[in-house]
């Protein structure tokens, strides 16, 4: 057991402390690209070999040897004082509590050490920003030597974080009109890792520790310079985007409030829209229909790039049953295209646009697989195109209902086929949440062998 | 000499026959390829309508609804004229297309007090201009129609006609679809969007 004592400092402090006169630069590079460089391939080759385990599914020989998997995220490369530090996201065999793990390798060994495995005290699936990684702190470290098994890690960890702040250039001051959104700020924080006092009962005591007063912590060297690596925030991969977006803390809370039987039992829709606020306000805007006007109404003047809404259970209007569709609607498809325009106008990327629907028959989302309409169609032309889509959607839904096959699987197939016939097959992706919290997702696609089969379900890993 | 002439004639005959067979084959394939595949209305559902499929009203289930229906609500009169359109083309970007028979509705909304026309689509002649179009087919004395406004806000909903049309009376219901105000819709809220057709239940009586 180790104790994490983290402190926050500024880049200048660190430079002063270590008499360094240069800035720390972070670059992101692909693993495959780095393997062409000697320094990196040598650093990888120094990793201690591990005996083959029985769990070899889907691993390369190298990963199997070392007992971890490298996650397909960019490698962060930090050059500092003639040494290069490579940080990769990994998942080790022993990661039973799903924490975020990074492998830090040096271009040249420091004494016998070739690098570290750092375990952050945050779920690897629940990373919002580097700010949240920082606030959670480091849970554990293991030092890697070229020979033998990883040992308990000690050292001074300089973690360079480049994260989004809600503050407009003034750290930790989010009041008044100075607040903006998306201000990128680089901070450095330092974590000292010392083994726990063996007499303290093994608990985390923090701040240098309590317990045996005679306990002398070991020397905390060497200095490790790293930067957290988790999901690729620059990725346009809709799976990664969806997973990252839906795992944000505030977003999850809002979805959780909507994803309730009592909300689905209403006689009108509820949901929320998301934007990039310009005044530090919440990025979310709630929306709710009424009994008289049951559908969701977009808030005026709110330039949204995403929406989450509930498709209610069947309900009565007067004495007539309103049979709701527990699937993304044709309007949702149109909204996604509008959200793409909005996302770009807001300074985001087309891949940030989303529409998500919660229902008693599952939670679904649509994302753009590539930017549309590009230069091919005007907005008005899209409207006309969408009218055709809607007409066909309504015809198919009605036919399914009259046939008595109005279930979720048939609705999924119907929507996928409709996207295909309308030329959207490679432009709009349909996703289904695989957990109730709607934080894990699978992409649904038509089975190429037989499009009447169940849709193919590909998990977003 | 005679033997040679006969064999030449036979060869010419075979050649001509081959050409005729080839022409007939080409014609047959072409005809089969260009012809639609006629299917009943209830073929559609979990099955795909094949390319060149034609969902035809083979059993005239649409006919009892054809005619002019009228009802009053909130001091207004709603006159709904239902017509049959045959072989409406549905074509898509992927190249896939099919046909279907369909009912369309044209309407007049009148103010009972003044007799003035509030809204009408009776003069629309193009199928694309139809604001009311049938969905699938009637079942258990229920028949649904898609309603869509022609204005920039593009409000849509479903009209449900309930009852046996042979009795010359139908119950009318309206269910709004999801509606979001997109950029081109200049109203302050969804409630302000004008829906000219009845949004409350009413009775329609056949007048023609």
- pLDDT tens string B136-152: 999 999 999 999 987 77
The DSSP code for B32 is: H
ipTM of the complex: 0.84
| Yes or no, beta carbons of A410 and B188 under 8 Å apart | no
- The residue range of the domain holding B9 is 1-35
pTM score, whole prediction: 0.71
The reply to whether B73 touches chain A by the CB within 8 Å rule is no
Strands A354-359 and A306-310: parallel
Q: Is there a single domain that holds both residue B148 and residue B133?
A: yes
Kindly identify which residue of chain A lies nearest to residue B141, measuring between CA atoms.
A402
pLDDT score, position B183: 72
Please tell me the total number of residues recorded for chain A in this structure.
461
Q: What is the pLDDT of residues B95-131, one digit of tens each?
A: 999 999 999 999 999 999 999 999 999 998 887 789 9
The tokens describing B159, both together, are 């009209």
3-class DSSP state of A446: coil
The reply to whether B194 touches chain A by the CB within 8 Å rule is no
Q: What average pLDDT does range B180-204 have in this prediction?
A: 85
CA distance B165 to B169: 6
Tokens 């795909």 — which residue? Answer: B48
More confident residue, B12 or B88: B88
Kindly identify which residue of chain A lies nearest to residue B47, measuring between CA atoms.
A452
pLDDT score, position A11: 35
Q: What is the pLDDT of residues A131-183, one digit of tens each?
A: 667 777 788 888 887 766 666 655 566 666 544 333 333 333 333 333 333 33
Q: Is there a single domain that holds both residue B45 and residue B22?
A: no
| Yes or no, beta carbons of A331 and B180 under 8 Å apart | yes
Q: Is there a single domain that holds both residue B31 and residue B62?
A: no
B134 beta partners: B145
Q: Is there a single domain that holds both residue B67 and residue B132?
A: yes
In sequence order, the 6+-apart residues with CB closer than 8 A to the CB of A447 are A453, A454, A455, A456
A132 neighbors A156 (Cβ within 8 angstroms): no
Kindly identify which residue of chain A lies nearest to residue B161, measuring between CA atoms.
A320
Q: Is there a single domain that holds both residue B149 and residue B81?
A: yes
pLDDT score, position B87: 96
CA dihedral B26, B27, B29, B35 (to 10 degrees): 160
pLDDT score, position A200: 42
Q: Is there a single domain that holds both residue B175 and residue B81?
A: yes
Q: Is there a single domain that holds both residue B4 and residue B41?
A: no
| Yes or no, beta carbons of B179 and A297 under 8 Å apart | yes
pLDDT score, position A50: 60
pLDDT score, position A113: 81
Q: Is there a single domain that holds both residue B202 and residue B99?
A: yes
Radius of gyration of chain B (CA): 26
A83 neighbors A105 (Cβ within 8 angstroms): no
Query: How far does the CA of residue B68 sit from the closest CA of chain A (Å)?
Result: 24
Tokens 């006169």 — which residue? Answer: A21
| Yes or no, beta carbons of B42 and A403 under 8 Å apart | yes
Q: Is there a single domain that holds both residue B26 and residue B92?
A: no
The tokens describing A304, both together, are 């949204």
pLDDT score, position A397: 96
The reply to whether B140 touches chain A by the CB within 8 Å rule is no
Query: Which of B42, B45, B194 should we substitute to test contact with A (largest number of A Cβ atoms within 10 Å)?
Result: B45
Q: Is there a single domain that holds both residue B94 and residue B42?
A: yes
Strands of A2-9's sheet in order across: A2-9, A183-195, A155-165, A223-226
3-class DSSP state of A264: helix
pLDDT score, position A7: 31
A141 beta partners: A118
In sequence order, the 6+-apart residues with CB closer than 8 A to the CB of A443 are A238, A239, A429, A430, A431, A457, A458, A460
Q: Is there a single domain that holds both residue B167 and residue B124?
A: yes
The reply to whether A338 touches chain B by the CB within 8 Å rule is yes
Q: Give domain limits for chain A.
A: 2-226, 238-459
CA distance B56 to B40: 5
Contact residues, chain B, for A318 at CB < 8 Å:
173, 201
The per-residue pLDDT of chain A, averaged, comes to 75
B67 neighbors B205 (Cβ within 8 angstroms): no
Of B93, B175, B184, the CB nearest to A317: B175
pLDDT score, position B53: 97
Q: What is the pLDDT of residues B158-179, one digit of tens each?
A: 999 999 999 999 999 999 888 8
| Yes or no, beta carbons of A394 and B44 under 8 Å apart | no
Q: Which residues of chain A have pLDDT under 50?
A: 1-22, 53-62, 162-187, 193-220
Q: How far is CA A58 from CA A61, A69, A70, A103, B184, in A?
A: 10, 9, 11, 20, 50
Q: Is there a single domain that holds both residue B29 and residue B115?
A: no
């Amino acid at each position: 057991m180790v104790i994490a004592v983290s402190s926050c400092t500024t880049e200048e402090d660190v430079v002063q402390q270590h008499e360094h006169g240069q800035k720390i630069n972070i670059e992101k590079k692909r693993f495959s690209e780095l393997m062409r460089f000697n320094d990196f391939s040598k650093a990888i080759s120094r990793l201690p070999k591990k005996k083959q385990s029985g769990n070899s599914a889907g691993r390369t020989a190298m990963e199997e040897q070392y007992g971890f998997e490298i996650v397909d995220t960019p490698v962060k490369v930090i050059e500092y004082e003639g040494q290069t530090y490579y940080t990769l996201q990994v998942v080790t065999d022993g990661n039973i509590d799903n924490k975020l793990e990074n492998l830090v390798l040096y271009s040249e060994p420091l004494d016998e050490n070739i690098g570290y495995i750092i375990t952050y005290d945050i779920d690897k699936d629940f990373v919002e920003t580097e700010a949240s990684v920082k606030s959670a702190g480091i849970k554990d470290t293991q030092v890697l030597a070229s020979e033998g098994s990883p040992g308990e890690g000690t050292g001074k960890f300089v973690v360079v974080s480049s994260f989004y702040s809600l503050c407009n250039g003034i750290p930790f001051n989010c009041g008044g009109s100075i607040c903006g959104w998306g201000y990128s700020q680089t901070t450095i924080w330092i974590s000292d890792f010392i083994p726990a006092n063996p007499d303290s009962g093994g608990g985390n005591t923090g701040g240098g520790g309590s317990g045996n007063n005679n306990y002398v912590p070991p020397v905390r060297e060497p200095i490790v310079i790293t930067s957290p690596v988790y999901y690729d925030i620059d990725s346009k991969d809709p799976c990664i985007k969806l997973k990252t977006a839906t795992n944000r803390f505030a977003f999850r809370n809002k979805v959780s409030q909507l994803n309730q039987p009592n909300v689905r039992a209403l006689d009108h829709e509820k949901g929320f829209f998301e934007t990039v606020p310009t005044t530090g306000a919440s990025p979310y805007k709630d929306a709710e229909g009424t009994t008289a006007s049951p559908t969701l109404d977009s808030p005026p003047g709110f330039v949204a790039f995403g929406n989450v809404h509930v498709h209610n259970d069947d309900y009565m209007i007067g004495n007539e049953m309103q049979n709701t569709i527990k699937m993304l609607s044709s309007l949702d498809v149109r909204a996604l295209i509008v959200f793409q325009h909005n996302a770009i106008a807001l300074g985001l990327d087309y891949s940030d646009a989303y529409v998500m629907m919660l229902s008693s028959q599952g939670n679904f989302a649509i994302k753009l697989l590539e930017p549309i309409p590009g230069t091919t169609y005007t907005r008005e032309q899209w409207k006309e195109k969408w009218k055709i889509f809607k007409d066909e959607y309504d015809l198919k839904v009605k036919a399914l209902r009259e046939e008595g096959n109005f279930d979720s699987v048939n609705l999924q197939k119907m929507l996928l086929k409709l996207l295909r016939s309308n030329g959207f097959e490679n432009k709009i992706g349909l996703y289904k949440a695989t957990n109730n919290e709607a934080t894990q997702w699978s992409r649904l696609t038509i089975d190429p062998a037989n499009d009447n089969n169940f849709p193919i379900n590909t998990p977003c890993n | 000499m005679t033997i040679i002439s006969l064999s030449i004639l036979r060869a010419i005959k075979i050649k001509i026959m081959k050409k005729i067979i080839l022409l007939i084959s080409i014609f047959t394939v072409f005809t089969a390829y260009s012809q639609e595949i006629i299917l009943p209305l209830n073929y559609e559902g979990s099955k795909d309508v094949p390319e060149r499929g034609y969902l035809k009203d083979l059993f005239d289930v649409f006919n009892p609804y054809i005619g002019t229906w009228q009802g009053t609500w909130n001091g207004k009169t709603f006159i709904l004229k239902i017509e049959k359109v045959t072989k409406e083309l549905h074509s898509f970007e992927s190249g896939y297309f099919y046909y279907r028979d369909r009912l369309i509705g044209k309407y007049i909304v009148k103010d009972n007090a003044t007799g003035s026309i509030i809204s009408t689509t009776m003069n629309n002649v193009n199928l694309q201009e139809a604001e009311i179009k049938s969905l699938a087919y009637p079942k258990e004395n229920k028949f649904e129609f898609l309603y869509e406004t022609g204005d920039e806000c593009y409000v849509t909903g479903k009209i449900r006609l309930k009852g046996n049309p042979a009795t010359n009376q139908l119950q009318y219901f309206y269910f709004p679809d999801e509606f979001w105000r997109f950029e081109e819709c200049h109203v302050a809220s969804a409630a302000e969007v004008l829906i000219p057709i009845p949004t409350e239940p009413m009775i329609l009586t056949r007048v023609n």
